[in-house]
Each structure stands twice: as C-alpha cells, then as structure tokens.
Amino acid sequence: MSFWEKMERLDRRVIYVLLIAAVAFALIKPVGLAITISKETQATYDLFDGLPPGSIVWIGCEYGASNITELQPILTCVLRQGLAKDLRFITGGMWAQAGNLAESAWEDVSADFPDKQYGIDFVNVGYRPGGERLLPALVADAHEALMGRDNRGTSLDDLPLMQEFKSLTDAAAILVLVSGTPGEKEYIRLVTDQHGIPIVAGAVSVSVPEAMPLLNSGQLKGLVMGMAGAAEYEVLIGKPGSAVAGMDAQSFAHVLIILFIVLGNLGHIALGKHKKKA
C-alpha cells in the first residue's frame, strides 16, 4: 500500500488528536508568533498613554462570561497600562456579570501593583439595573444612580476615589467592552457625543463590523478588535498573556488544517494518476 493510499484511509480521529495536541501546546507554551499592531489598537493605547496622571477612566463592562476569552484580556491590559501611569479606574456596567468580571480583572492585576489600593486607584461599582437608562442617571448623579454602594457593598462615601466622581462627566475617558446591546452605541448617544468625552471600545470579533462606522465617523477614538486586538494590546504593554497564547493556538490549528488540505489534494492527484495507469 502506497503512502497516499495510507493517507486516504487515515482515521479522522488521528487528525482530531493532532489538532488538540497543536492547540494544547500553543496554550501551554506560547511561542509568540509575530503580531502586527493595527492602527485601531494603537489609537486606543495612545489615548490612555496621553492622559495626565491621576485622570479617572470609566470602564463599562458590557459583556458576559461567554466573551471572557476575547474581552477580559483587553480589560486587564488597560488596567495594567493605566495603573503604571497612575491613572485611576471605576468599573461598572449594565450587564449582570459586570461586577464579577471587573473584580476578577482587579485580582489578576493588583498583585503586580502593591502600591495601588482599592478605593483610591480602583473602584468596582458592579452591575446596576435599568439598561441604557442607567447612563443619563450616571451623568446626572452617579452616587444616586449607583444606590450609594459599590460591588462589595461598601458605601461610596467611604471610598476616596468616589469623592471625586460625582458624575460620569468627571471621567477623562471611557472604555466600553461590548458584546451586544446595550453597548458602545448607547454610550455614544447618551453620554460621549453630548459631553465631549473621548471613548474607545473593545468588541468581540462578530461585533466589529457594527462598530467600524462609529470609528470611521470619529465617534469612537479607538477600537480593539476581538482576541487579535487583545493580543496586539498585550504586545504593546509588554505583557504577553492569554490572548497571545490564543492567537498562537489559532495559528497552529490553521497551519495543521492547511497541511492536511494540501496533502489531501496531492493524494487525490497521485491516486488519480495511478488509477489511470492501472
């Protein structure tokens, strides 16, 4: 039996095992394949890099646990970049898991910044109901809209950072991480267009086409696009993490699939010629 005949009869389970092995290797030991920084990710990075120390940034965590792979690395990257520049952050959102996602990101990042303190450099106000009606309420009176408590149940009056944040207009910039509605469109319509606050977004890959017109119009100042954008941001801050590993895994899987497609076509040609001769 020739090589091509063996390949033709190859058990598909072998392909699945090889694919799993390639992905697992890349996730366990990322090789850091070359990543080109897009202008959209660079613009997001530059916005935060240009803010004066002490500036307050509002981060809207408008996504759920199913989108952690693409959006959570963006959140941790911006926190790392900002804390290193002495920016201060307030996180919250209109999606039910906003508080848990922000808390997880703070736990991941804060260990590397022992001089930064909760309540002074970072506050997580968590999920608040009401959908998009929350946004104008945050503009009018943030403390009232947040019902006077953060995600941990602490009174906002006991958090020094919240003494400087009475309205969403006190934010020097806004980052919104989105996977659906409400999301960046509501922030633009109800907050940033009216009050001139620069806003950037991180979006899951399938939502990027909807966000691009907002970027092209200048309403969004930057856009981090899915896992690829998150990997770019990890490279920009010099801290490769889960997004870079994910892109390596994706690249390895694609190369393996292409290899089998090439082998399959070569085998088809070779066996076809052999049958004609026979």
Cα–Cα dist 228/182, whole Å: 23
Domain boundaries, the chain: 3-29+248-277, 39-239
User: Is the pLDDT score of 145 beyond 60?
Assistant: yes
User: Is the pLDDT score of 159 beyond 70?
Assistant: yes
User: Is the pLDDT score of 1 beyond 60?
Assistant: no
Tell me the CATH number for domain 39-239: 3.40.50
Q: What is the pLDDT of residue 34?
A: 62
User: Is the pLDDT score of 141 beyond 70?
Assistant: yes
Kindly indicate the confidence band of residue 158, based on its pLDDT and cuts at 50, 70 and 90. Answer: very high
Query: Are 199 and 44 within 8 A, CB to CB?
Result: no
pLDDT in tens, 100-130: 999 999 999 999 999 999 999 999 999 999 9
Kindly indicate the confidence band of residue 265, based on its pLDDT and cuts at 50, 70 and 90. Answer: confident
Radius of gyration, CA atoms only, the chain: 23
Of 42, 97, 90, the residue nearest 71 (C-alpha): 97
Sequence-separated (6 or more) residues with CB below 8 Å from residue 157: 143, 148, 163
Phi, psi angles (nearest 5°) of residue 92? -170, -175
pLDDT in tens, 27-83: 666 666 667 899 999 999 999 999 999 999 999 999 999 999 999 999 999 999 999
pLDDT in tens, 214-252: 999 999 999 999 988 999 999 999 888 767 776 666 666
- Write down the mean pLDDT value for the chain: 89
| pTM over cut 0.95 | no
Kindly indicate the confidence band of residue 261, based on its pLDDT and cuts at 50, 70 and 90. Answer: confident
Supply 151's token pair.
């995600």
Q: What is the pLDDT of residue 264?
A: 75
Supply 224's token pair.
């981090």
Query: Are 173 and 44 within 8 A, CB to CB?
Result: no
How many CB atoms sit inside 10 A of residue 186's CB?
20
Kindly indicate the confidence band of residue 200, based on its pLDDT and cuts at 50, 70 and 90. Answer: very high
Query: Are 145 and 139 within 8 A, CB to CB?
Result: no
Q: What is the pLDDT of residue 161?
A: 98
Q: What is the pLDDT of residue 52?
A: 97
How many CB atoms sit inside 10 A of residue 205's CB?
14
Q: Please state which of the ranges 25-34, 67-76, 189-198, 257-266 shows the lowest mean pLDDT.
A: 25-34
Phi, psi angles (nearest 5°) of residue 220? -95, 135
Kindly indicate the confidence band of residue 273, based on its pLDDT and cuts at 50, 70 and 90. Answer: low
Phi, psi angles (nearest 5°) of residue 150? -95, -175
Chain position carrying tokens 């026979």: 278
Query: Are 148 and 165 within 8 A, CB to CB?
Result: no
How many CB atoms sit inside 10 A of residue 72's CB?
24
- Length reported for the chain: 278
What is the mean predicted confidence (pLDDT) over 161-165? Answer: 97
